[in-house]
């Protein structure tokens, strides 16, 4: 029953999945983080304007991702029972509302509410976009599309990191937030056009509905997820700590420790986003060729650790080329984890359970996203500063490498 309203398109001609639908998927993944990345890119100005310290600024990201983790953990099964169109509409409306709230000059506490709303906007995108891929896109194109749509986060990072600092110079960071509301609104219009014109695949239309007894027995069904689902959630949690500890404070590190300008500090995040987009597309192609998920995750963990070491080196030497090396390594490794995790998930979960299974894994990621910024903020506010912060990030990536090694060993035993 969930897809009847979308499958019955009346006289509207059925279209094939193409650039319009792919743009919608990418936009859904990237709309929620727009506000947080914009705030991160203008962090030095926001800290000064609001009279807050680094730990309070980190709390913005923590609230955002805690709401996202809570939303994924509690609303995933609800998403299994609602249409793609309604879920995508919620994503873009919440993203727009968050940006509008941030534009209101009412102080730090309203900004916390705004980032919390943007977090809830990230409750559904992975699950619903994965389901759209399974039900509307031919199998031969799916993994490649996963790489593109998971790049939505990095496209969001690139867009916000460039737009916010430039607009902030003329109209302040609140004005930048107001102008940016146009992006999710445009994507909402495109969503309605795309989803109403691209039908379900024949096999998705003919798949029988899930038995009511299974739907009602939510707790036992959750326990029947393959072990890989929980392992991917654990890896996402660890990697998420390092990812957002870096993303949120990278521009501030560049401005404070290497004397970059506000705009050039935002460019560090933008460059990382560009590299992240290319990395996610590239790692998706690797996964599409049948690569082992745990082995790819180990590779990413090693590269991410090298990135943390380069950030530490940039702090120790003040040498900007080391910072740009770190930015590139961060983009190619830690920012590439999501596409590998989602590709591995699509190998073991059917479409009718994809929204809720994706929510489990995504909740793990967002729990890490929530922990990383507040922990990093507390560390760099302490006497240890950024020196200790980058050591902590490196330690997290060592744990990622250890978990990936365990998964590799278990997968080899099962062969």
Can you spell out the DSSP letters for 111-151? Answer: HHHHHHHHHHTTSSHHHHHHHHHHHHS-HHHHHHHHHHHHT
pLDDT for 278 beyond 90: no
H or E segment and range at residue 321: helix 320-332
Residues 273-288, mean pLDDT to the nearest whole number: 84
Map tokens 């239309």 to a residue.
Answer: 205
- Over residues 25-73, the pLDDT tens digits come to 999 999 999 999 899 888 888 988 999 887 788 889 889 988 988 888 7
Distance between CA atoms of residues 279 and 273, nearest Å: 10
* CB-CB neighbours of 375 under 10 Å: 20
Which of 4-8, 98-102, 225-229, 339-343 is predicted with the least confidence, judged by mean pLDDT? 4-8
The pair of three-digit structure tokens given for residue 225, joined into one six-digit string: 């997820």
Helix residue ranges per DSSP H, 259-384: 262-288, 293-317, 320-332, 337-346, 354-381
Percent of the chain with pLDDT over 90: 37
Predicted local distance difference test score (pLDDT) of residue 187: 94
Distance between CA atoms of residues 194 and 81, nearest Å: 21
Q: What angle do CA 31, 142, 149 make, to 5 degrees?
A: 15
296 and 152 in contact (C-beta within 8 Å)?
no
Distance between CA atoms of residues 91 and 173, nearest Å: 23
Q: What is the pTM of this model?
A: 0.74
Question: How many helices, marked H, and strands, marked E, lie in the chain?
Answer: 21, 0
Which of 57-61, 214-218, 279-283 is predicted with the least confidence, judged by mean pLDDT? 214-218
pLDDT band at 104 (very low <50, low <70, confident <90, very high): very high
293 and 410 in contact (C-beta within 8 Å)?
no
156 and 30 in contact (C-beta within 8 Å)?
yes
Task: Select from 184, 175, 123 the least CA-distant residue to 155.
Answer: 184
Residues 324-329, mean pLDDT to the nearest whole number: 95
pLDDT for 346 beyond 70: yes
Distance between CA atoms of residues 243 and 337, nearest Å: 10
Predicted local distance difference test score (pLDDT) of residue 207: 55
Percent of the chain with pLDDT over 70: 88
| Residue 226: half-sphere exposure toward Cβ, Cα within 13 Å | 14
The pair of three-digit structure tokens given for residue 293, joined into one six-digit string: 């998920």
Predicted local distance difference test score (pLDDT) of residue 140: 80
Q: Using the Cα atoms of residue 136, residue 274, residue 359 and residue 403 in order, give the sign of their dihedral.
A: positive
pLDDT band at 386 (very low <50, low <70, confident <90, very high): very high
The pair of three-digit structure tokens given for residue 271, joined into one six-digit string: 């460059």
Cα dist from 145 to 137, 203, 393, whole Å:
9, 19, 30
Predicted local distance difference test score (pLDDT) of residue 38: 92
The pair of three-digit structure tokens given for residue 162, joined into one six-digit string: 């460039």
**What is the distance in angstroms between the CA of the first residue and the CA of the last residue of the chain?**
39
Predicted local distance difference test score (pLDDT) of residue 219: 43
Which of 3-7, 73-77, 236-240 is predicted with the least confidence, judged by mean pLDDT? 3-7
Phi-psi region of 350 (alpha: psi -120 to 50; beta: other; left: phi over 0): beta
Residues 386-391, mean pLDDT to the nearest whole number: 95
Residues 131-153, mean pLDDT to the nearest whole number: 82
DSSP string, 3-49: THHHH--TTSPP----HHHHHHHHHHHHHTTHHHHHHHHTHHHHHHH
Mean pLDDT, the chain, rounded, equals 84
Class of domain 16-201+220-414: mainly alpha
Task: Select from 238, 412, 236 the least CA-distant residue to 339.
Answer: 236
The pair of three-digit structure tokens given for residue 88, joined into one six-digit string: 């995508």
Predicted local distance difference test score (pLDDT) of residue 67: 92
The pair of three-digit structure tokens given for residue 28, joined into one six-digit string: 């859904």
pLDDT band at 217 (very low <50, low <70, confident <90, very high): very low
Q: Write down the domain spans for the chain.
A: 16-201+220-414
Distance between CA atoms of residues 180 and 18, nearest Å: 26
pLDDT for 8 beyond 50: no
pLDDT band at 224 (very low <50, low <70, confident <90, very high): low
Distance between CA atoms of residues 153 and 283, nearest Å: 15
Distance between CA atoms of residues 358 and 106, nearest Å: 36
412 and 292 in contact (C-beta within 8 Å)?
no
């Amino acid at each position: 029953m969930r897809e009847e309203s979308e499958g019955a398109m009346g006289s509207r001609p059925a279209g094939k999945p193409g650039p319009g639908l792919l743009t919608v998927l990418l936009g859904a993944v990237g709309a929620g983080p727009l506000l947080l990345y914009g705030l991160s890119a203008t962090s030095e100005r926001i800290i000064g304007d609001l009279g807050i310290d680094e730990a309070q600024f980190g709390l913005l990201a923590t609230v955002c991702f805690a709401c996202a983790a809570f939303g994924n953990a509690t609303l995933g099964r609800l998403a299994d029972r609602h249409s793609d169109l309604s879920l995508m509409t919620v994503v873009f409306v919440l993203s727009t509302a968050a940006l509008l709230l941030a534009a209101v000059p009412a102080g730090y506490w309203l900004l916390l509410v705004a980032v919390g709303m943007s977090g809830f906007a990230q409750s559904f995108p992975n699950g619903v976009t994965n389901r759209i891929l399974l039900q509307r896109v031919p199998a031969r194109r799916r993994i490649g599309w996963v790489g593109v749509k998971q790049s939505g986060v990095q496209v969001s990072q690139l867009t916000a990191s460039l737009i916010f600092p430039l607009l902030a110079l003329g109209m302040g960071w609140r004005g930048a937030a107001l102008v940016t509301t146009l992006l999710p609104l445009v994507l909402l219009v495109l969503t309605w056009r795309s989803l109403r014109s691209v039908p379900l695949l024949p096999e998705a239309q003919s798949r029988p509905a899930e038995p009511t007894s299974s739907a009602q027995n939510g707790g036992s069904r959750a326990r029947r997820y393959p072990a890989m689902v929980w392992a991917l959630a654990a890896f996402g949690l660890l990697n998420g700590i390092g990812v957002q500890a870096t993303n949120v404070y990278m521009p501030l590190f560049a401005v404070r420790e290497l004397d970059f300008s506000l705009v050039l500090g935002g460019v560090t995040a933008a460059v990382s986003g560009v590299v992240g987009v290319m990395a996610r597309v590239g790692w998706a192609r690797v996964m599409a060729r049948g690569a082992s998920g745990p082995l790819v995750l180990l590779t990413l963990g090693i590269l991410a650790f090298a990135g943390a070491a380069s950030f530490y080196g940039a702090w120790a030497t003040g040498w900007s080329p080391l910072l740009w090396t770190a930015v590139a390594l961060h983009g190619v490794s830690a920012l590439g984890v999501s596409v590998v995790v989602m590709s591995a998930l699509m190998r073991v979960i059917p479409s009718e359970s994809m929204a809720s299974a994706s929510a489990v894994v995504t909740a793990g990621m967002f729990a890490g996203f929530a922990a990383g910024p507040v922990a990093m903020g507390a560390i760099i506010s302490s006497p240890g500063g950024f020196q200790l912060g980058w050591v902590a990030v490196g330690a997290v990536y060592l744990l990622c490498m250890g978990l990936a090694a365990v998964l590799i060993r278990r997968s080899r035993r099962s062969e």
